[in-house]
Structure 1
Amino acid sequence: MRNLTLRSVLLGLAAPVGALVFAALLCAGILAVTGHSPVDTVDAMSASAQRPRTLVNSLNTAVSYYLSAVAVAIGFRMKLFNIGVDGQYRMAALLAAALAGAAFMEGVPPVLRVTMTVLASMLVGAAWAGIAALLKVTRGVSEVISTIMLNAIATYLVSYLNNPARLAEVNPGSNDVKTPDITAGGQVPGFEVTGSSSKVYGLVFLAVLVGFLYWFVLSRTRFGFELKATGLSESAAVASGVSVKKMVVISMLLSGAVAGLVGIPELLGASHSYSLNFPAGVGFIGIAVALLGRNHPIGMAVAALLWGFLFNTANSLDTAGVPREIVDIMQGVIVLSVVVAYELVRRYRVRAEQHAVGHALGRTKTAEEVSA
C-alpha cells in the first residue's frame, strides 16, 4: 500500500485541480472573446446553485452519471472499453419499465415488485453486454467496435418496442408514446427537501451501494486482484493460471449489469414509465466521469456531482444572456485537460522515483567504498 505523504497527496491533486483551473481559464477567455462577461456567468451559475431545486436535481443527475461511470470503470480496470453502456441501460430501462408496469404486477408485494424490476434491468444490461463479450472471446472482435454497433441496434430496437402495437401506449392528451405507468406499488418514493418541488431519488443509496461493492470487490477480493492483474498483463495472468477469456466475459457481464441500473432511479423515482423523453446519452457521459475520476469510487462520485451541477446550472445561463453551450465546452476541455494532466503527473512521478532510486544507490555505493 502506498504511503500517504504530502508530496503524494499534492501530486494526486495536481492533475484534476490543474485541469479544472485550465478549463475555467479557457472558458473565461472564450466568453471574453465572444463578448460575454465571465463574472456574469459565474454569478448566474452561483445564484442557480443556491436554489434547493437545483441542488436536488444536480444530485439526482449525479446518481445516474455515477452508475454509468462505475459500469465503464469495471471495463477500464480490465483494459476493456465498454462503449455500449448507453445502449445497455436504455434496453434495460425499457424492458424493466414494461415489466414493472404490466397488469399482472399489481398483485405483487411492493418490495418484491421493485426487486424484480431492478434484477430484470441488471439481467437485460448484462445480456446485452454479454453479446460483445462472446464476440470478443470467440471471434476476437474488438469490444469497442461491437459495443458501438450494439448501441445503434439498441436504439432502433428500443424504437421498435416502444410502440403502441407492442410494449407502449399513447399518452392521453399528447403525442408522447410510453410504457404503461408504474403504479405506487412499484415506485420508490423520494426524499423531500425544503424549498424544492423535486425530490431526491429514493434509490440514491443504490449508487452508494454499487460504489462500495465496486471498491470492495476490486480491492478486497481475489477476483478483483485477478481482474486488475489481467488488465495489466494478460501474459502474466495466464502464467498465474487465470483464464483471460473467462475474465473478459465476467467483466463485461458485470459492467452490463451495472449499466442496466443507470435508468432505474429515474424510472422508479420520477418518470414511472419509459418514454421518448427518457434521458439519453448518459452512457457516454459516464465515460467522461470515469476518466475524470480515474476509476476510483470517490473520484468518480466527485466528478459525477460536478457534471450534474454543470448540467443543471446550464439553463440559468440563458436568462443571463450567456450561451449555455459554454458548459459543454467546459466539460470537454476538462476531460481533455485531465487526460493530459494525469499523463504529465505520471511522467513526473516516474522521473522523481528514478531519481530517488539513483540517489539511494549512489549513497549505498559511497558507503561501501568508505567501509572498504
Structure 2
Amino acid sequence: MNLLRRIGLAMFAPVLAVVVALVISSAVMAALQVNPVQVFAVMFDFGDTPSQQVTALVVILNRAVPLFLAGLAVAIAFRMGLFNIGVEGQYRLATILAAAVGAAVALPGPLHVLLIVVVAMLVAAIWAGIVGVLKVTRGVSEVISSIMMNVIALGIASYLLTGPLRGSPEGALIVSTAEIPESGWMPSLNGVFGLLGLANPPRQLFGFLVVAVVVGVAIAVLLNRTRFGFDLRAAGLSPSAASASGVDSSAMVVKTMLLSGAVAGLIGMPDLLGSTHAYSTDFTTGLGFLGIAVALLGRNKPVGIALAALLFAFLDRSLVPLQIQDFPASVVTIFQGTIVLAVVVANEIARRVARRSAERGSAAPAAVAGDGGTGPGQAASGAGSPGGAGDGGEGTGAGVSRTTGGGQRTDERQETGS
C-alpha cells in the first residue's frame, strides 16, 4: 500500500499538469475558433502506411534523446538545489568544439566517436564548473552567472563558426564547420526494425539512443544508490546540516555543476554524430531551455524525464502535420507553455498532499499509544501474571522444561511470591 501511495503521489503532479494543459489549450483554441478535437486528431495521426507510422516513431525518438539528456542535466543541478539555466550555452559551445576536433583528426571508428564525446563533455563541464566556482568563492547566484555564461558561450560559438572553425565556402547559405569523417559517425539503430518485423523507415534512428539510456541508468544509480548521491541530496536539502555531518557543501556545489555540465555536453551529440556530422547555423537550438520544462515535468527522476521528453518530442513532431492542415502551429507552443506553468502548481499541490498524508500516517500510532484502555498484551488487574497466582497476588513464574530419564518431558514451574 505504501508503494502504491508513493507511485500515486509521484504521478499526481505530472498527470495533473498534462490534464490542466489540455483543458487550457482546448479553451484557447476554442477562443481562436479552432476545433480542438480536429487539432488533437491531426496530432495523433501517424500516417496510413506502416512505413509512415514507423517514420513518425523514429522522429519522436530522435527528438526525445537530446531532450532527455537536457532534462537530465538540469535535474542533476535541481537535486542539489541549484538552477543550471546555462545548459543551452554549455551544449552549443561543447558541440562546436567537439565537431571541430572530430573533423581535424582521423581515428578508428570507436575511438573517433569516443574522442568527440569526451571533448564535448569536458568543454561543457568546464563551462558549467565556472558557475559553481563563482558561487562558492564569490557568492554569485548560479542563475545570474549561468545566464551571463550563456551569452558568452553563444557569442564565442558564433565567432568560431564564422571565423577560425568555418568549413563551408564563402557565400554559402548555411555556415558550418568542416564535416566529420565517416569514422566519427555513430551507426543507426534501423536494423532493430528488421528484427522486429517492422518496415524500415527512410529516417535513421539515432544510435546515441543507447548511450542516452546508459547515461540515464548511471545517473539514477549515482544519485540514489551511492554515497556521492546521498551527499549531493543532503547538501541540497540543508547545507548546514550536511556540513555538520562531514559533507563539504562547497565542494559538492562544484562537483554537481561539473556533472551537470558533462551531461549537458552530450545534448548535441545525437544530431552531430547521427545526422548533421557538422555544427552549422541551422543546428538544433533551444534544447537547454526545453530541458528545464522536461526536468520539471519529470520531477527530476530519470524515468519521469524520459516520459516527459517523449511528450515534448511528440508535440514537436506535431508541428509539421498541423501546418500541413492549416492549423496554427502556435497550438504546440501554447500547450508546452501551459505544461510548464501547470507543473509548477501541480508540484506544490503534490507536495502539500504528501505532507498531509505523512502527518496522518504519523498521527495514527500516536493515537493508539495515547489510549488509556487495556490493549492487546496488557494484563488486567487481578488476572494474575503468567505463572502467578490467579487471585491477583503478585508473582513471577519461570517455566523450566526438563527431560526425565524415561524420555518424558515434564514442565516444572518455579514461583516466587511476595
In the TM superposition, residue 43 of structure 1 has moved relative to its aligned partner by 1.4
* Aligned residue number for residue 68 of structure 2: 66
Corresponding position: 1:75 with 2:116:
no
Per-residue Cα deviation, 1:230-277 (whole angstroms, up to 9, x for no partner): 001001111011111111111111111111110011101000000000
CA distance in 2: counterparts of 1:174 and 1:196, whole angstroms: 31
Q: Could you tell me which of 265, 272, 277 is aligned with 1:272?
A: 277
Task: State whether residues 48 and 313 of structure 1, in contact with CA within 8 Å, keep that contact through their aligned partners in structure 2.
Answer: no
Name whichever of 331-340 and 355-364 sits farther off: 355-364
Larger Rg: 2
In the TM superposition, residue 173 of structure 1 has moved relative to its aligned partner by 7.8
Corresponding position: 1:226 with 2:231:
yes
SS of the counterpart of 1:48?
A: coil
* 1:8-87 paired onto structure 2 within 5 Å: 8-48=6-46, 51-87=53-89
In the TM superposition, residue 171 of structure 1 has moved relative to its aligned partner by 4.8
* Aligned residue number for residue 129 of structure 2: 130
The residue identity in structure 1 corresponding to 2:247 is V
* Aligned residue number for residue 251 of structure 2: 246
Corresponding position: 1:204 with 2:204:
no
In the TM superposition, residue 14 of structure 1 has moved relative to its aligned partner by 2.2
The residue identity in structure 2 corresponding to 1:98 is A
TM-score (norm 2): 0.84
Corresponding position: 1:288 with 2:287:
no
The alpha-carbon distance between structure 1 residues 51 and 171, as it changes in their structure 2 partners (threshold 3 A), is farther
Higher relative contact order (CA 8 A, sep 6+): 1
In the TM superposition, residue 228 of structure 1 has moved relative to its aligned partner by 0.5
CA distance in 2: counterparts of 1:97 and 1:315, whole angstroms: 29
Task: State whether residues 61 and 205 of structure 2, in contact with CA within 8 Å, keep that contact through their aligned partners in structure 1.
Answer: yes
Unmatched runs of 5 consecutive residues or more in structure 1: none
CA distance in 2: counterparts of 1:42 and 1:166, whole angstroms: 47
In the TM superposition, residue 78 of structure 1 has moved relative to its aligned partner by 0.7
CA distance in 2: counterparts of 1:114 and 1:289, whole angstroms: 27
In the TM superposition, residue 111 of structure 1 has moved relative to its aligned partner by 1.2
The residue identity in structure 1 corresponding to 2:68 is Y
Corresponding position: 1:101 with 2:103:
yes
* Aligned residue number for residue 167 of structure 1: 165
Corresponding position: 1:121 with 2:81:
no
Corresponding position: 1:259 with 2:257:
no
Higher helix share: 1
SS of the counterpart of 1:26?
A: helix
CA distance in 2: counterparts of 1:205 and 1:352, whole angstroms: 39
Per-residue Cα deviation, 1:41-88 (whole angstroms, up to 9, x for no partner): 011111137632221111011100011111111111110111100000
Task: State whether residues 68 and 309 of structure 2, in contact with CA within 8 Å, keep that contact through their aligned partners in structure 1.
Answer: yes
- Percent identity between the two aligned chains: 46
Task: State whether residues 217 and 223 of structure 1, in contact with CA within 8 Å, keep that contact through their aligned partners in structure 2.
Answer: yes
Task: State whether residues 86 and 146 of structure 2, in contact with CA within 8 Å, keep that contact through their aligned partners in structure 1.
Answer: yes
RMSD of aligned alpha carbons: 1.8
CA distance in 2: counterparts of 1:338 and 1:137, whole angstroms: 30
Task: State whether residues 168 and 178 of structure 2, in contact with CA within 8 Å, keep that contact through their aligned partners in structure 1.
Answer: no
TM-score (norm 1): 0.94
* Aligned residue number for residue 366 of structure 1: 371
Per-residue Cα deviation, 1:11-42 (whole angstroms, up to 9, x for no partner): 33222112211111111111111111111101
Number of residue-to-residue matches in the alignment? 366
The residue identity in structure 1 corresponding to 2:252 is M
- Regions of 4+ moved over 6 Å: 369-372
